[in-house]
Chains A and B, each alone.
Chain A
Amino acid sequence: MQCPTQAYADVLVATAAGRIDFAGAQVLEGALAPALVPDGPVRGIVIDLAGVDYISSVGLRVLMVAAKAMRARKAAIAVTSLQPVVAEIFEISRFHHVVDVRGSVREAIAAVSPDALAAYDRKDRR
């Protein structure tokens, strides 16, 4: 599992690829950790799951921890571009009530921060 990150203004976008099982969950946790520091500048986390074909309960737990941390400072967290099977797992586990589920990274960023959206669109044009 790989999970590179990219900052757009005050939003962190993490792009996960592979299976988020026990080992994958640790990679995801490590990728999100810098954005979760108390009083940090990040106002939103967007996790692109387009390349993820499975997420286990341990991976979902990482999302729960991140969601709680972001909610505590009135920040946002969203997942995007879920493959059909991963979307099913979110519904079965009821995690679609825990994090915002969006169709695309751009849509998720737009819901959180105009500055981040502008930064994302600028990068897209390049």
Chain B
Amino acid sequence: MKRVRFWGTRGSIPVALTAEGVRRKLVAALRGASGRTFATDEEAGAYVDSLPFADRATFGGHSPCVEIETGGPDFVICDLGSGVRPFGQEALARDGGGPRTYHVFLSHVHWDHIMGLPFFTPAYIPGNRVVIYGGHAHLEAALRRQQEQPSFPVDFSTFRADISFVRLEPGIVHEIAGMRVKLKLQRHAGDSYGFRFESGGKAVVYSTDSEHDLGNRRETDGFVEFFRGADVVIFDAMYSLADAISVKADWGHSSNIAGVELCHAAGVKHLCMFHHEPAFDDASIARVLADTRRYEEICRTGAPMTVTAAYDGMEIEL
């Protein structure tokens, strides 16, 4: 595996940066630049790059879609949220759009994780192969249903790629696209599955839409083992701990605190917070990230763990 690339990082529903949000960023940038002049685009770009992330950029608003670049000829993605639309365009552009195989790992079929499929251009192109893997029995039924009338005008049967479905058993190692792949059942309405991908001495875990009860030792130990020694864990950190275990208990999501504790226990190198709360603006997510880095520092007993908040377009080199 070479890198992880994020195409959609928002949970529950896509969101967009508003006009007022852009205005706030411009005001912050202009105030920061007070009295300075920029002779070239490079100078202006360097100044922009020096600004805090929330002032110069956005975490983005597409719902979940994460690409794992394996170094092999096939594409590998996790989930078909709205982020799969720009992924599909990029995939076609990357090397001329010739016939390719797309391996898709579905955590579950809640709408935010499948809504991008009707806009996934490679699925309409003959010669392409799309293999959709998951732990649920109803993957195909759910994907066909979202494109039925009157919900969507283009039926699933319109796809011209060879689309197939493979149900994977948890707890078994599957050899797919040159990787060893394991699934883990997660606590979420209707169940969800986390995936652990290993190849070339690297391990990436995609674990979203997963609620954790850290008071349950057996369950916690199971996740620690699943995360063990991973280079990157992409983790559902949608809520604060207080919300996750009170007003939003049983909503099927987790917290930044749980992420740090589980990843520390598992010796993970990089915790990447994911499935951001749609009500949070960029400043809020940046604040959660700063808090989480501080919590990691407070509980650290060994080597420092990298903590990031995923954004649409972010890449993690493995």
Residues of chain A touching chain B, judged by Cβ–Cβ distance below 8 Å, are 22, 25, 54, 56-58, 60-61, 64, 68, 85, 88-89, 91-95, 97-98
Contact = CB atoms under 8 A, between A and B. Distances in A.
B240 interface: yes
B294 interface: yes
A56 B242 contact: no
Contacts of B242: 60, 64, 93-95, 97-98
Given A92-B292, A95-B242, A61 B298 contact: no
B93 to A, nearest CB: 42
B215 A68 contact: no
A56 B214 CA distance: 10
A54 B295 CA distance: 11
Contacts of B243: 94
A60 B294 CA distance: 17
Nearest to A25: B215
A69 to B, nearest CB: 13
B298 A89 contact: yes
Nearest to B249: A64
B31 interface: no
Contacts of A61: 214-215, 245
B175 interface: no
B257 interface: yes
Contacts of B245: 60-61, 64
Nearest to B258: A57
A106 to B, nearest CB: 26
29 contacts: A22-B217, A56-B261, A57-B241, A57-B258, A57-B261, A58-B214, A60-B241, A61-B214, A64-B245, A64-B246, A68-B246, A85-B298, A88-B298, A89-B298, A91-B291, A92-B256, A92-B257, A92-B291, A92-B294, A92-B295, A93-B240, A93-B242, A93-B257, A94-B241, A94-B242, A94-B243, A95-B242, A97-B242, A98-B246
